[in-house]
Amino acid sequence: MKKLMAANWKMYKMRAEATATASDLVARLDGRLPEDREVLVIPPFTALWAVGGAFAGKTGLSLGGQDLYPAKEGAFTGEIAPDMLRDAGCRYVLTGHSERRHVLGEDDAFVGKKTAFGLAAGLSVILCVGEKVEERKAGQLEAVVTRQLAAGLADVPSEVSPEALAVAYEPVWAIGTGLTAGPKEVEEAHAMIRAWLIERFGPQTGPSVRILYGGSVKPGNAELLLGIDNVDGVLVGGASLEAESFAAIVTA
């Protein structure tokens, strides 16, 4: 499967700026997108249609939502349904991003509901997991990440298609801080997640589910990170906001 190069724009960019960045990215990647990579841009909801328009007719570029609410429709003020994301052209959605967990207070069980609901609604889901710095220092990396995986994927059928599911390992202490996990730390965490996925989904699916790394990915460290075993892509925040730096990461 191709490496998934994902840009999470978080709560940045008005429509005009989003359109300009997306068009710039299309131009920079024209004829230069490596065969083994696919690009995913995850803009704020208000810019989905604009970015989708800039990507129209291009191959290898997809659109994703930053979150979803686990219901078809209803009285859920402020929330967004998976069908609405699909209607806006999304193929992917994030669940369990650390900012949803730690700033907005989402718990493991709710993240699990969202993941299963998004998959059932036909979206490909990227479940984000990762430990806080105090958890890592206390030796709880494996306990925290496996708890998040178990709850986050609790209702996902074992026969899920590996194209429809990805896990993003994002150590919370590396997000937006300029600190990247070292190659050894990334390798160990990804190997642990891989082993868990094989145990959970079996020898057919477990090895194929993509595991992305996220947390201060930059043009200068992308190549190193992408060369580590079980790193099947990256989830980029800050360095994805400029087309130039994200294109450099995509082609690293």
97 is annotated as an active-site residue: yes
Q: Is 102 a catalytic residue?
A: no
Name the amino acid, one letter, at 13.
K
What is the rounded distance in angstroms from the CA atom of residue 41 to the CA atom of residue 246?
A: 10
The contacts of residue 141 (CB under 8 Å, 6+ apart) are 131, 135, 189, 192
Distances (CA, A) of 74 to 41, 71, 137, 222: 27, 7, 43, 41
- The distance between the two most distant Cα atoms of the chain, rounded to a whole number of Å, is 49
User: In angstroms, rounded to a whole number, what is the distance separating the alpha carbons of residues 169 and 174?
Assistant: 11
Determine, following the binding rule CB under 6 A, whether residue 236 of this chain makes contact with ligand PGA.
yes
Decide if residue 217 touches ligand PGA (CB under 6 A): yes
Q: Which residue of 26, 126, 193, 235 would you call a contact of ligand PGA, by CB under 6 A?
A: 235
Helix (H, G, I), strand (E, B) or coil at 39: strand
Q: Quick one: tokens of 165? A: 């599911």
Out of 97, 99, 131, 190, pick the active-site residue.
97
- 5 part of the interface to ligand PGA, by CB under 6 A: no
Out of 216, 230, 233, 247, which residue is the one contacting ligand PGA (CB under 6 A)?
216
Query: Which residue among 67, 131, 170, 232 contacts ligand PGA (CB under 6 A)?
Result: 170
- Tell me the window of 30-38, 73-81, 212-220, 222-230 that interacts with ligand PGA (CB under 6 A): 212-220
Residue number, 148 or 201, with CB nearest to ligand PGA = 148
Name the one residue in this structure whose structure tokens are 């970015």: 51
Q: Which of 238, 243, 249, 250 binds ligand PGA (CB under 6 A)?
A: 238
Among residues 38, 106, 170, 190, the one annotated as catalytic is 170
127 binds ligand PGA (CB under 6 A): no
3-state secondary structure of 233: strand
Residues within the interface to ligand PGA (CB under 6 A): 8, 170, 175-176, 214-217, 235-239
- What are the catalytic residues? 97, 170
